[in-house]
Structure 1
Amino acid sequence: MRKIFFTIVAMALLSFNVSADESKGAAIRSALSALNSQVPIVAVADAQFPGLYEVTLASGEKLYVNEAGSHFVVGEIYKVQSDGRLVNLTEEGKKEDRIAQLAAIEPQDMIVFPAIGETKAHLTVFTDTDCFYCRKLHKEIAQINERGIEVRYLAFPRAGAGSKTHRVMDSIWCADKADQQALFTKAKSGQAIPSLSCDNSPVMSQYALGQKMGVTGTPALVLQNGTLVPGYMPAAQLAKMLGVAN
């Protein structure tokens, strides 16, 4: 499927020409218009790589298109710093996108375990109530909070829509706000919770957001700077990564 998709992209780009009275960004959009129903274009901007334009698709994927529209690159762009270090420019752009996307989520749609005392950092976690390492991380929630770290949970039922985990997570997110923390912790310990449903459950929209951000498994940690870190991390190591002194 991926191969077919990029074949179509290539055909669209080969038909692209920049006219004198048309901006390059508009022309690139025009060249890719045949794909709009499948992968709508979110943005076209100058890339940080000379001579290329960055096209962001609704899927979160990025294409790098040349000015003539005759070639494109799918992948990551790196810059060599003066000290010889490599900086992943594509990932830096994704970090900014993740920060903006998380900022748009209503606080009431998250299950938040606040820091104890001064809040020194916060962490967003895409989680599944059944996965082993998600449960292991949550067992350390008190240690994490005691270090001044606020944890904001978002739903990511790995088995997808209609799964048992989806139903359990719906029951948590549809409960009264005052009960959500307790139900969440109970489900994380493997205990049964009352079955609930509601029309405004954010569970599957959060699942879709996680996929767009590049989440493929749980737990998936998103740091304050937008960095996506897959997998479990002990409380002490997590604090160190967030720059919080033990």
Structure 2
Amino acid sequence: MRKIFFSWVAMALLSFNVSAADADKEATIRAALSSLNSQVPIVAVADAAFPGLYEVTLASGEKLYVNDSGSHFIVGEVFRVETDGQLVNLTEEGKKASRVDQLAALKRDDMIVYPAKGETKAHLTVFTDTDCFYCRKLHGEIEDITARGIEVRYLAFPRAGAGSKTQKVMDAIWCADEADQVSLMNKAKAGQTIPMISCADSPVMDEYQLGQQMGVTGTPALVLEDGTMVPGYMPAAQLAGMLGVK
């Protein structure tokens, strides 16, 4: 699907003709890409972090780097070389800010929240699957994590997608009374059977789609407060260090 999508982008850009040298750059780029497919809207066009190109953010969360006429583009990640030789992923830095905004727009009621014990020093958002081994391993340390002052906010990401057994289990958790959700999550993570219920306003598949937009490809996917995404399991002590919690 990705290959087909970018083939469409290429055809759209190559066929777009810009005759006015002083045309508005953003309008030119938007027109070139919008001729591709109205189902893939452009979210933003901005100057790239280096001269000569513009950064285009798509609704899917993907980024393109386009020249000022929209006739050429680059797909991939852009890095800056620091004076000490270290590499900074500029594409990822841009995604971090978007993730913070996307998570801030969510309702707390649509998360399964494990509050910090005592003072809340940091929070961690986790896209999780109730069946995956490393999700369960991370959940096995939930007491240690919250005891360090870290609030854990679970979002649903049933890896097998819509209609899967995991999606139905996660629907049952998210559709339950708020007072029962943590207990049901604990049981599901332990491999126990829980009562299967569903509801029309379950946020499970919306959160799954959000995860895909944010770049989640597997579970658990940990999103730190600054929008950094950490794929996979991480021990509680290491997580606390990344969050600056002592």
Q: TM-score range by the shorter chain?
A: over 0.9
In structure 1, C-alpha distance between the alignment counterparts of 2:176 and 2:37, rounded to whole Å: 38
- What residue ranges of structure 2 are gaps of 5+ in the alignment? none
Secondary structure at the counterpart of residue 35 of structure 2: helix
Provide the residue aligned with 1:96 in structure 2.
97
Provide the residue aligned with 1:166 in structure 2.
167
Deviations along 1:77-102, one digit per CA (max 9) or x if unpaired, are 11122333221110000000111100
Deviation at 1:31, TM superposition (A): 0.8
Residue identity opposite 1:82 in structure 2: T
* 8 Å Cα contact 2:28/2:69 also seen in 1: no
* 8 Å Cα contact 1:63/1:72 also seen in 2: yes
Residue identity opposite 1:234 in structure 2: P
Q: TM-score, normalised by structure 1?
A: 0.95
In structure 2, C-alpha distance between the alignment counterparts of 1:89 and 1:129, rounded to whole Å: 33
Bigger mean CA deviation after superposition, 169-178 or 27-36: 27-36
Bigger mean CA deviation after superposition, 44-53 or 31-40: 31-40
Q: TM-score, normalised by structure 2?
A: 0.95
In structure 2, C-alpha distance between the alignment counterparts of 1:34 and 1:187, rounded to whole Å: 46
Deviation at 1:22, TM superposition (A): 4.2
Provide the residue aligned with 1:12 in structure 2.
12
* 8 Å Cα contact 1:128/1:218 also seen in 2: yes
Provide the residue aligned with 1:2 in structure 2.
2
In structure 1, C-alpha distance between the alignment counterparts of 2:124 and 2:17, rounded to whole Å: 43
In structure 2, C-alpha distance between the alignment counterparts of 1:62 and 1:16, rounded to whole Å: 22
CA RMSD of superposed structures (Å): 1.4
Bigger mean CA deviation after superposition, 13-22 or 56-65: 13-22
Deviation at 1:18, TM superposition (A): 6.2
In structure 1, C-alpha distance between the alignment counterparts of 2:132 and 2:11, rounded to whole Å: 42
In structure 1, C-alpha distance between the alignment counterparts of 2:4 and 2:143, rounded to whole Å: 48
In structure 1, C-alpha distance between the alignment counterparts of 2:186 and 2:215, rounded to whole Å: 26
In structure 2, C-alpha distance between the alignment counterparts of 1:100 and 1:139, rounded to whole Å: 29
In structure 2, C-alpha distance between the alignment counterparts of 1:8 and 1:128, rounded to whole Å: 33
- What residue ranges of structure 1 are gaps of 5+ in the alignment? none
* 8 Å Cα contact 1:161/1:204 also seen in 2: yes
Q: Aligned residues, how many? A: 245
In structure 1, C-alpha distance between the alignment counterparts of 2:20 and 2:199, rounded to whole Å: 51
Deviation at 1:3, TM superposition (A): 3.0
Deviation at 1:114, TM superposition (A): 0.7
Deviation at 1:10, TM superposition (A): 1.7
